[in-house]
């Protein structure tokens, strides 16, 4: 017997500060009402990809499916905007389950900073001199010294974002992989990065941290002057993103690989 479709009668609407998103929220609330997030069957995020990431972070531990509608400038993670028959669209949507990355960054004073990243964890040089980094995977040194502007670890969901701009690979959304991608590598010049199983523990040591300071960023959370950064999949956190069946995230990721 087929599983009955879930009803979406209680909806919470959250909008970015863009005028188009604010107006869309007003119209949708007037039409469908609004539930408190603690009772919602779904969260509808109105804005662009940045707002979608902020909404995912806001409801990170609530287990509520999130459906984005594009009222911003970039909408890779968003569905097309329409005010009609929203509960039926939500009931017919496909759900993509994603896990964020857990970042543990140690600053020059030895203080540990924890954060989560849905797209990527990035390390950047802070001054004019290139960063020098040592890379370990599951405790084994894989690169003694990488001279670069930085490096990032991207999830499949984030592989089409900054990772793609840095010439990293696009990953299918359900691939059990992480992309380790250098940013403007100088030595070794021809190293293009690595694809890693998503079960690994990645440790990046900053060499010469006083002379070549480095920042670590998990999505929008930044830690300055880091000496060591550890990254792994947050296995205990699962996020639910909803997409229209005819334009799923899997299809978007696949289509992106054939753009030229």
Query: What is the tens place of the pLDDT at every residue in 27-71?
Result: 999 999 999 999 999 999 999 988 999 999 999 989 999 999 999
Which parts of the chain fold into alpha helices (H)?
19-32, 49-58, 86-92, 162-165, 249-256
Residue with tokens 């990645």: 202
* Nearest-angstrom CA–CA distance, 254 and 76: 12
49 as an active site residue: the answer is yes
* Strand 140-148, strand 214-218: pairing: unpaired
* Cα–Cα nearest to 116, from 205, 171, 53: 53
Count other Cβ atoms within 10 Å, centred on residue 18: 16
Residue with tokens 């979406």: 8
Residue with tokens 């009609």: 84
In the chain, what are the domains?
11-98+238-256 (3.40.50.10330), 101-233 (2.60.200.30)
Mean per-residue pLDDT of the chain: 92
Q: Quickly state the pLDDT bin for 5 (edges 50, 70, 90).
A: low
* Nearest-angstrom CA–CA distance, 204 and 178: 15
pTM as predicted: 0.87
- Cβ contact 68:56 at 8 Å: no
- Cβ contact 197:176 at 8 Å: yes
Per-residue pLDDT of 198-208, as tens digits, reads 999 999 999 99
- Cβ contact 201:137 at 8 Å: yes
- N-to-C CA span, the chain: 44
Which parts of 68-224 fold into alpha helices (H)?
86-92, 162-165
* Cα–Cα nearest to 69, from 95, 46, 98, 37: 46
Count other Cβ atoms within 10 Å, centred on residue 3: 5
Torsion of CA 175, 140, 217, 116, to 10 degrees: 60
Look up residue 231 and give its two tokens.
């990254």
- The stretch 223-228 carries a mean pLDDT of 98
Per-residue pLDDT of 87-101, as tens digits, reads 999 999 999 888 999
Catalytic residue among 17, 36, 41, 49: 49
Per-residue pLDDT of 124-156, as tens digits, reads 999 999 999 999 999 999 999 999 999 999 999
* Nearest-angstrom CA–CA distance, 56 and 20: 20
Look up residue 18 and give its two tokens.
């863009």
Cis peptide leading into residue 232 (ω within 30°): no
* Nearest-angstrom CA–CA distance, 53 and 50: 5
* Nearest-angstrom CA–CA distance, 231 and 253: 24
């Amino acid at each position: 017997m087929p599983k009955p479709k879930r009803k979406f009668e209680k909806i919470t609407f959250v909008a970015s500060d863009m005028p188009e998103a604010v107006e869309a929220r007003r119209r949708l609330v007037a039409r469908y009402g609004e539930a408190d997030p603690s009772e919602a069957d779904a969260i509808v995020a109105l804005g662009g990809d940045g707002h979608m990431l902020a909404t995912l972070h806001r409801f990170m531990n609530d287990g509520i499916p999130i459906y984005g509608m594009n009222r911003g400038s970039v909408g890779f993670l968003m569905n097309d905007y329409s005010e009609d028959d929203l509960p039926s669209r939500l009931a017919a949507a496909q759900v993509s389950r994603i896990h964020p990355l857990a970042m543990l960054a140690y600053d020059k004073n030895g203080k540990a900073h924890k954060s989560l990243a849905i797209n990527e964890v990035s390390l950047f040089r802070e001054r004019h001199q290139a960063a020098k980094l040592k890379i370990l995977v599951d405790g084994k040194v894989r690169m003694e010294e990488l001279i670069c502007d930085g490096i990032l670890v991207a999830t499949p969901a984030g592989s089409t974002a900054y990772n793609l701009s840095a010439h990293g690979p696009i990953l299918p959304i359900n691939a059990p992989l992480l992309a380790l991608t250098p940013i403007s590598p100088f030595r070794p010049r021809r190293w293009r990065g690595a694809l890693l199983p998503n079960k690994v523990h990645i440790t990046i040591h900053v060499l010469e941290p006083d002379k070549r300071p480095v920042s670590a960023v998990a999505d929008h959370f930044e830690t300055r002057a880091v000496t060591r950064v550890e990254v792994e999949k947050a296995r205990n956190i699962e996020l639910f993103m909803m997409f229209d069946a005819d334009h799923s995230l899997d299809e978007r990721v696949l289509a992106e690989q054939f753009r030229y």
